[in-house]
Structure 1
Amino acid sequence: MPNGRNHISDGDRDGESAYIKDIAERMSGCLRKCELGEFIAAEIKKYSRYDLQIISARVRREVDILPEPYRSKFRPYSERWFFGRYHKLLLLSGEKAFAADGRGNAENPFCRDITDIETFKKFCAVIHEGCMHDDGQDDEAEILRKLPRHNLFYYLLNAFAMFVMDEPGHPVGTPFPGGMTVTQTQEGYLCPIRDKEEEILHSICNFCPAKQDPKNL
């Protein structure tokens, strides 16, 4: 259980709701990448090893139910999303990369304004709803229940990727059914599903810096 919210029990949705709303509101006040990166790192560090084990188990389970051969192609990218970004964030924070004089480099790329502040604020505005959303899967094993704070972990890591690193929500190379993948060009990132989830208001795709791949309109 994250430090600083030990008073919230696993079944206390009202407590988690208030906690997540506070996180989202405070995060929306960040204006610079370094400020946002340090904020996210501080919140991510509050997750216990037990929380991380549960989140990791859910990530693996969601991949396990995919059909082959897509499952085997997708798995490395799901692990890159979870393990790769988590460790990258902690590494940068540990190196003081988000400090004003991070890495002793006056040209520190994180000492800049968030690239698309308007989209970032819209992203923050849907975090609470996205975290509290009930997907109706009541048949989940109790230990793998998707708790609101575990959903928050997902939004925090994606905020790091999309608004601190300016990377797409799905890592470059991520495959999708049909054979198309997330790609990087000189003009930026292209994703085959970027504009396909507009009706799901809390989907990260709606805030991703990638553009819709014109080959899959």
Structure 2
Amino acid sequence: MPNGRNHISDGDRDGESAYIKDIAERMSGCLRKCELGEFIAAEIKKYSRYDLQIISARVRREVDILPEPYRSKFRPYSERWFFGRYHKLLLLSGEKAFAADGRGNAENPFCRDIADIETFKKFCAVIHEGCMHDDGQDDEAEILRKLPRHNLFYYLLNAFAMFVMDEPGHPVGTPFPGGMTVTQTQESYLCPIRDKEEEILHSICNFCPAKQDPKNL
């Protein structure tokens, strides 16, 4: 169990609800990338190895149920989202990249304001609902059931990607059914589903810095 919530049992949704609401409210007060990066890193480090194993297993399972050949094409990007961003965040934090004098360089890209503070605050406002949302459980093993704190891990990593790194929620190259992928141009990122999930209020797509790919309107 992560430090700072050792009193919360796996079945204590009220306790997790209060914990997640507090995290989201405090995170929304961050104004600069370095401040946000260090905040997220501190929270991510609280996840135990057991938590990470469960989250990783859940991610793998969600890929396993995809049909081939899409499954094989999508899997590397799913792993990049989970393992790549997690380790990148910890690496930057370990290098003190989020410190005020990070890397001893006045040009440190993290010593800047969050690019779109309004969108960031809207993102923080939906974290609690997104984490507590129950989309129904199937008959999978109880150990792999999604817990609110595991959903929070997902939102924290995406906050790091979208508001600290200014990258899209889905990594560049991520394929989608139909053959289109997330791409990067000199001006921006393009995503084939950026504007396709507007009715799902807690979807990360609504806050992604990528633009809708005009080829898939």
Measure, in 1, the Cα distance between the counterparts of 2:80 and 2:4. Answer: 28
CA RMSD of aligned residues (A): 0.5
Q: Deviations over 1:49-87 (max 9, x none)?
A: 000000000000000000000000000000000000000
Runs of 4+ with >6 A deviation: none
Identity of aligned residues (%): 99
* 3-state SS, counterpart of residue 113 of structure 2: coil
Per the TM alignment, residue 139 of structure 1 is displaced from its structure 2 partner at its CA by 1.9
Give 1:36's aligned residue: 36
**Unaligned runs of at least 5 residues, structure 1:** none
With 21-30 and 130-139 compared, the bigger mean Cα shift is at: 130-139
Measure, in 1, the Cα distance between the counterparts of 2:111 and 2:186. Answer: 23
Measure, in 2, the Cα distance between the counterparts of 1:41 and 1:187. Answer: 29
Q: Deviations over 1:184-212 (max 9, x none)?
A: 00111000000000000000000000000
* 3-state SS, counterpart of residue 24 of structure 2: helix
Measure, in 1, the Cα distance between the counterparts of 2:32 and 2:187. Answer: 23
Q: After TM superposition, list the pairs within 5 Å mapping 1:1-217 onto structure 2.
A: 1-217=1-217
Q: Deviations over 1:131-162 (max 9, x none)?
A: 00001114231000100000000000000000
Measure, in 1, the Cα distance between the counterparts of 2:186 and 2:109. Answer: 19
Measure, in 2, the Cα distance between the counterparts of 1:44 and 1:29. Answer: 18
Measure, in 2, the Cα distance between the counterparts of 1:113 and 1:87. Answer: 23
Q: Deviations over 1:76-123 (max 9, x none)?
A: 000000000000000000000000110111110000000000000000
Measure, in 1, the Cα distance between the counterparts of 2:27 and 2:103. Answer: 24
Measure, in 2, the Cα distance between the counterparts of 1:141 and 1:189. Answer: 38
Measure, in 2, the Cα distance between the counterparts of 1:141 and 1:76. Answer: 25
With 10-19 and 132-141 compared, the bigger mean Cα shift is at: 132-141
**Unaligned runs of at least 5 residues, structure 2:** none
Measure, in 1, the Cα distance between the counterparts of 2:98 and 2:209. Answer: 21
Q: Deviations over 1:2-47 (max 9, x none)?
A: 1110000000000000000000000000000000000000000000
Measure, in 2, the Cα distance between the counterparts of 1:2 and 1:96. Answer: 22
Measure, in 2, the Cα distance between the counterparts of 1:46 and 1:114. Answer: 24
Measure, in 1, the Cα distance between the counterparts of 2:139 and 2:199. Answer: 26
* 3-state SS, counterpart of residue 106 of structure 2: coil
Measure, in 2, the Cα distance between the counterparts of 1:212 and 1:137. Answer: 31
Measure, in 2, the Cα distance between the counterparts of 1:207 and 1:187. Answer: 18
